[in-house]
């Protein structure tokens, strides 16, 4: 695995002429200000090594990647009963689709589309004030990344609070169908802050290691979830982690992954390592354009696809 750094370096060099491809998310004003010409990638392997390239030490808004950590927390709280409120099927619709939610009577297709993630935030909020639930998530992410310096970007959270009209609609829909227990403002307060988690590729790769290592972070030795739960979260990431681009991502990359509109992707190579990539320009379905290309190159060069090398 000593040539892993060389593989990262070659991917970076080959993508340099393409930096800026895709379109930065602009429906959250604070994200529209991000320089699109950035690219970082980091790999944390189960032997505890972290390798990186490019802008891997620059914090970015992890946005929907936070849904993986929130799902882990919610499953820890309520276990399998979570699935009474959220499905486990790919949605085949946009990340913020309203139509499907109405047709399916307030039960979101999966925990990684916005509606599903909002329901998951509602579960984590139970028994807490919103501030405490946000604190719980931040402590959890710092714990799995083994890094106390991780923060939430309040400007991003505020920006989304002021413009998150579709998410407000989704939450109201679910509340009307009895699938939210708490006031919409409280649930969205948690959701917008979780999306505003600010992390570097290096931190994110380390934070995802428990999913690559049967639920235990091999660097700290902390047991985060059971091997079975890690396997199941990976299965959901593979089938639902890229919205209606999930099939395409599985086809090209072949790894469980979760994208965010900040341009980040967390991918998991089970038994091998956790990979974070960041390039702010998005493709049409809201996933990092060059991030996905970089992961495709990595999977091709390492043979890490879960479907075989
Ligand atoms: N905060 C974003 C939203 O709710 C997350 C979407 C994403 O990262 O895909 O619109």
- What is the whole-number distance in angstroms between the Cα of residue 303 and the centre of ligand 1? 31
Cβ–ligand 1 distance for 96 under 6 Å, the answer yes
Phi, psi for residue 217 in degrees, rounded to 5: -75, 115
Q: For residue 93, what pLDDT is reported?
A: 85
Q: Where are the beta strands (DSSP E) in 29-98?
A: 40-45, 50-54, 60-61
Cα separation, 203 vs 58, whole angstroms = 10
Q: What percent of the chain has pLDDT over 90?
A: 95
- From the CB of 196, is ligand 1 less than 6 Å away? no
How far is the centre of ligand 1, averaged over its atoms, from the C-alpha of 47 (Å)?
32
Output the average pLDDT for the chain.
96
Whether 260 is in the pocket of ligand 1, judged by its Cβ within 6 Å, is yes
121 lines ligand 1 (CB under 6 A): no
User: Is the distance from the beta carbon of residue 278 to the nearest atom of ligand 1 less than 6 Å?
Assistant: no
What CA–CA distance (Å, rounded) separates 177 from 102? Answer: 9
Tens-digit pLDDT profile for residues 86-126: 999 999 888 888 999 989 999 999 999 999 999 999 999 99
Radius of gyration of the chain (CA): 18
191 is catalytic: yes
> CB–CB of 188/118 below 8 Å?
yes
Helices (H) and strands (E) in the chain, counts: 14, 8
In the predicted model, is pLDDT for residue 62 greater than 80? yes
The confidence band for 1, taking pLDDT boundaries of 50, 70 and 90, is: very low
**For residues 36-43, average pLDDT:** 98
Pocket test for ligand 1, best of 118, 195, 284 (most atoms within 8 A of CB): 195
3-state secondary structure of 120: helix
pLDDT of res. 94: 83
Q: What is the pLDDT of residues 11-37, one digit of tens each?
A: 999 999 999 999 999 999 999 999 999
Is residue 47 very low, low, confident or very high in pLDDT (cuts 50, 70, 90)?
Answer: very high
Selecting among 66, 191, 206, 224, the annotated active-site residue is: 191
CB neighbourhood size of 222 (10 A)? 14
Given the residues 34, 52, 66, 67, select the one marked as catalytic: 67
Which atom of ligand 1 approaches the CA of 65 most closely? 8
The CA-atom distances, in angstroms, between 108 and each of 92, 113, 117, 173, 223 are 12, 8, 9, 11, 30
CA-63 nearest atom, ligand 1:
8
pLDDT per residue as tens digits for the range 242-295: 999 999 999 999 999 999 999 999 999 999 999 999 999 999 989 999 999 999
At 2 the pLDDT is: 52
Q: How far is the CA of 84 from the centre of ligand 1 (A)?
A: 23
Among 96, 171, 174, residue to substitute to test ligand 1 (most atoms within 8 Å of Cβ):
96
Q: Would the annotation count 160 as a binding residue? A: yes
| Proportion of the chain above pLDDT 70, given as a percent | 99
Q: Please provide the size of the chain in residues.
A: 309
CA of 1 to the centre of ligand 1 (A): 35
More confident residue, 220 or 2: 220
- Pocket flag, ligand 1, residue 280 (CB < 6 Å): no
pLDDT tens digits along 136-184: 999 999 999 999 999 999 999 999 999 999 999 999 999 999 999 999 9
**Closest among 300, 305, 279 to 53, alpha carbons compared:** 279
The response to whether residue 64 sits with its C-beta less than 6 Å from ligand 1 reads yes
Report d(CA 263, CA 243) in Å as an integer: 14
Q: Please, are residues 7 and 302 in contact by the beta-carbon 8 Å criterion?
A: yes
pLDDT exceeds 70 at position 228: yes
Which domains are present in the chain?
A: 4-61+200-302 (3.40.710.10), 64-195 (3.40.710.10)
């Amino acid at each position: 695995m000593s040539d892993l750094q060389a593989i990262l370096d070659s991917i970076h060099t080959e993508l340099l002429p393409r930096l800026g491809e895709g379109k930065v998310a602009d429906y959250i004003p604070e994200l529209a200000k991000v320089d699109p010409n950035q690219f970082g990638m980091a790999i944390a392997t189960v032997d505890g090594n972290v390798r990186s390239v490019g802008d891997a030490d620059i914090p970015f808004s992890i946005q929907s990647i936070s849904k993986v950590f929130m799902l882990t927390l919610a499953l820890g709280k309520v276990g399998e009963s979570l699935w009474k409120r959220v499905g486990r099927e790919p949605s085949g619709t946009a990340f913020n689709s309203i139509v499907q939610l109405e047709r399916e009577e307030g039960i979101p297709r999966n925990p990684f589309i916005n509606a599903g993630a909002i329901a998951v935030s509602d579960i984590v909020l139970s028994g807490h004030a919103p501030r405490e639930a946000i604190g719980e998530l931040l402590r959890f992410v710092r714990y799995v990344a083994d890094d106390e310096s991780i923060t939430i970007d309040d400007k991003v959270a505020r920006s989304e609070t002021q413009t998150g009209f579709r998410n407000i609609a989704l939450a109201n829909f679910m509340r009307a169908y009895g699938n939210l227990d708490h006031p919409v403002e409280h649930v969205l307060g948690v959701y917008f802050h979780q999306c505003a988690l600010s992390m570097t590729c290096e931190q994110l790769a380390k934070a995802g290691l428990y999913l690559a290592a049967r639920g235990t972070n091999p660097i700290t030795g902390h047991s985060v979830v059971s091997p079975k739960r890690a396997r199941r979260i990976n299965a959901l990431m593979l089938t639902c982690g890229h919205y209606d681009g999930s099939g395409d991502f599985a086809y090209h990359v072949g790894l469980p992954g979760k994208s965010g509109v900040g341009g980040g992707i967390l991918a998991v190579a089970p038994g091998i390592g956790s990979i974070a990539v960041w390039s702010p320009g998005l493709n049409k379905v809201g996933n990092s354009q060059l991030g996905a290309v970089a992961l495709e190159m990595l999977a091709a060069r390492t043979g890490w696809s879960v479907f075989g090398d």
